[in-house]
Amino acid sequence: INRFPHLTSLLDRIMFSKVCDMAKKSGTRYLSKKRGEGYGPPLENIGEAVGNTPMVKINERLCPEGRTIYAKCEYFNPLSSVKDRLALSIIETAEKEGKLKPGDTVIEATSGNTGIAVAMMCAQRGYKCVITMAEPFSVERRKLMRMLGASVIVTPKAGKGTGMVEKAAELAEKHGWFLCHQFETDANWKFHEETTGPEICNDLKGVNGGKFDYWVTGYGTGGTFHGAGKYIKATSPDTKIVLAEPGAANLLDSGIPTERNADGSPNGSHPAFKAHPIQGWTPDFIPLVLEKGMDLKLMDEYVPIPDGVAVQTSQDLARTQGILTGISGGATMWAAIETAKKAPEGSVVVCMLPDTGERYLSTPLFASIAADMNEEELEIAKSTPSHVLLPS
């Protein structure tokens, strides 16, 4: 029902539920609104567009035979990533608790997606926004945040993720700004428990009786894993939760805990961390939000991501499914495919695609993608006489 915002009255929702029940019994699938019907009444603000992202079935060109993989496409959020959920929750929670008032400044450390989402919410609410971001992350992310009105403070590469976190805390204390604490706040995982997890389970009710065997995700802050995982375990206890991280930065697999400051933030870089290409995943510390999720014993299986497969799988998704997702989406899908290969026939696997591939134009994801015409394209151009642009 949440996918149909025009169903505002109780009677409308009761009737809709009855129609869906009849559809299930007859084998008819009502998974989306009819094209041309419209979205529903205009939204009050962009924050209302966050969530209720669709799941898409992966075809046989990538999915192992006899198995089903559904990808939850978080790039359908208004600023094209799962972090829109986190930003909305942190800002709304701070407002409810009286920690934010008109004219305040919000600051956060981010690899990009959270900063873009926080900048979106600050622009909509009228807050000033300052983002700290480590040097290696893609330049398009900086430009997007600045387009949304944020100031972006770039920290040196040598400081890694902990450097940008320390800089944000330092600036917040110096200037009295509101620090989001995305890696520590319960507002992060609780929103996923309230939205992401229920969306997955509700959208599968009309498919295979709601049964799904595996849920696959990676982690940045650990909010999706913790919150959605908690809901999935409570609602579908037979579903196995698969957590992935870069093989080159196996923080969880090392068994070494992160040392923390009094506020839960990291007190230094994790000894198992090594640089990896999956932007937005696995900072150089174990976030407190993730650690709390691990304490709940939510993870059933662990998958390390080998070098190279994340980029390749993201490109495969684009070329075989028409799905444009980032490097983290490629990593998660690779873990989902490997999980499906080992799963019993008939298994259903759900995985997360955290963001859009357009956020990676300056990264290894697009390094092999040329801007100029190749020989094949030039031959096509020459096959008719007009308007042929020859190489200079």
Q: Active-site residue 328, yes or no?
A: yes
Query: Which position among 80, 138, 328, 347 bears the catalytic label?
Result: 328
Give every CB contact of residue 292 below 8 A, 6+ residues apart in sequence. 189, 222, 226
Half-sphere exposure of 94 (CA within 13 A, CB side): 27
Paired tokens of 73 = 């496409």
Q: Active-site residue 314, yes or no?
A: no
Query: Which position among 72, 83, 160, 233 bears the catalytic label?
Result: 83
Q: Which residues pair with 71 in a beta bridge?
A: 56, 351
Paired tokens of 170 = 């330092």
Q: Which residues are catalytic?
A: 83, 328
